[in-house]
């Protein structure tokens, strides 16, 4: 179980997390949702001991401020960005992190089998795809079978196919267990697949805590589709979408299209019919749901 009791955290004069209280029961998965700067990542870093904070955090009944080492041993953590040495072999990475956690590994192969990486023990990090590295990070997080799992935007660097595979794997490893899961995501489909509840944040405060079904229904009513399209084709794509009744505008990485219930895939199909390739897409709240 993970408990946050009046958690607050500041960066200088800026309040990043403001009096957040939250309990994740054994076997429950809770998603953090909010716009850029809402406090999602900061909360996760407080839970994992990477930031100092005010208030109280307990992991499985262990006070994280008073007994940080024991609390961290109860957490499996997968960060947003991985930092493996390129020359490190997969088997050596498992053994290294097991040693750091004080866990004796009986079988590296069995640990890797859980995340569909068996047979890759001898590969070096530079030989792994992004999806394979992320599965390895998950395998490391699960060493010792910790009662809590913390995930920070773990599919942010993966393409659509890689995201779907990783989310399916994660769901299979966390479903019907007693493990508490706390994660941040800005993808509605991931939250729908993994979460029981969604905690919505704004400027470091909890503005709503609701069942995942209610959250998904709300997002379906008013969502924003972000399309990744090659720069030379973006203006033509906007013209096609505007001509067929969709609002569309440029942003820094592609095109944003407001979509309603039942419209999610229609813009992609329209562009395909006009020989405009969409390389990737994501669905977020029309009111914001990016990184923090």
pLDDT over 90 at 59, yes or no: yes
**Cα-based angle 157, 158, 159 (whole degrees, multiple of 5):** 130
Name the pLDDT band for 291 (thresholds 50, 70, 90).
very low
To which residue do tokens 């972000």 refer? 226
SS3 29: strand
Q: What is the pLDDT of residue 255?
A: 92
Q: Summarize pLDDT for 197-212 with one digit per residue, the tens.
A: 999 999 999 999 999 9
* Domains of the chain, first to last: 2-219 (3.40.50.300), 222-285 (3.30.70.120)
Q: What are phi and psi of 240, to 5 degrees?
A: -65, -45
Q: Which helix (H) or strand (E) holds 4?
A: strand 2-11
pLDDT over 70 at 9, yes or no: yes
To which residue do tokens 């716009």 refer? 35
d(CA 202, CA 206): 7
- What's the mean pLDDT when you consider all of the chain? 89
Strand order of the β-sheet with 29-33 is 75-78, 148-152, 180-184, 29-33, 197-202, 205-211
Q: Determine the average pLDDT of the residues in 142-163.
A: 88
Q: Summarize pLDDT for 65-119 with one digit per residue, the tens.
A: 999 999 999 999 998 777 788 999 999 999 999 998 888 888 899 999 999 999 8
pLDDT over 70 at 289, yes or no: no
Task: Please enumerate in sequence order all residues whose Cβ is within 8 A of that of 53, keeping only pairs 6 or more positions apart, or say none.
Answer: 7, 8, 9, 17, 46
Q: What is the pLDDT of residue 292?
A: 44
- Quickly list DSSP for 35-98: STTSSHHHHHHHHTTSS--EEEEEETTEETTTSHHHHHHTEEEE-SS----TT-BHHHHHHHHH
SS3 183: strand
Q: What is the pLDDT of residue 262?
A: 63
d(CA 208, CA 89): 44
Q: What is the pLDDT of residue 45?
A: 95
Q: Which of 69-83, 136-150, 221-235, 278-292 has the highest mean pLDDT?
A: 136-150
pLDDT over 90 at 158, yes or no: no
pLDDT over 70 at 222, yes or no: no
Percent of the chain with pLDDT over 90: 62
User: Which tops the pLDDT comparison, 174 or 291?
Assistant: 174
d(CA 74, CA 91): 23
- Per the CB < 8 A criterion, the answer to whether 41 and 182 are in contact is no
Nearest-CA neighbor of 177 among 142, 133, 137? 142
pLDDT over 80 at 221, yes or no: no
């Amino acid at each position: 179980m993970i408990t946050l009791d009046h958690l607050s955290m500041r960066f200088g004069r800026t309040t990043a997390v403001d009096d957040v209280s939250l309990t994740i029961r054994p076997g429950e998965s809770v998603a953090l949702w909010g716009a850029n700067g809402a406090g999602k990542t900061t909360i996760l870093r407080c839970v994992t001991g990477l930031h100092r904070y005010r208030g109280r955090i307990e992991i499985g009944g262990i006070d994280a401020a008073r007994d940080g080492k024991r609390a961290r041993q109860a957490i499996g953590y997968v960060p947003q960005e991985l930092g493996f040495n390129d020359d490190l072999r997969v088997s050596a990475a498992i053994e290294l992190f097991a040693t750091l956690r004080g866990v004796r590994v009986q079988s590296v192969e069995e640990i890797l089998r859980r995340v569909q990486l068996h047979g890759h023990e001898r590969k070096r990090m530079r030989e792994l795809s992004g999806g394979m590295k992320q599965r390895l990070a998950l395998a490391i997080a699960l060493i010792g079978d910790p009662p809590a799992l913390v995930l920070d935007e773990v599919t942010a660097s993966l393409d659509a196919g890689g995201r779907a595979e990783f989310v399916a794997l994660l769901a299979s490893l966390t479903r019907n267990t007693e493990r508490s899961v706390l994660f941040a995501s800005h993808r509605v489909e991931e939250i729908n697949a993994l979460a029981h509840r969604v905690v919505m944040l704004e400027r470091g405060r909890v503005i709503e805590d609701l069942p995942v079904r209610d959250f998904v229904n709300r997002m379906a009513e008013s969502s924003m589709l972000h399309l990744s399209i090659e720069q030379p084709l973006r203006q033509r794509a906007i013209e096609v979408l505007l001509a067929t009744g969709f609002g569309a505008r440029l942003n820094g990485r592609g095109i944003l299209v407001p979509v309603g219930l039942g419209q999610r895939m229609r813009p992609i199909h329209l562009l395909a019919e006009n020989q405009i390739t969409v390389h990737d897409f994501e669905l977020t709240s029309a009111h914001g749901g990016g990184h923090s």
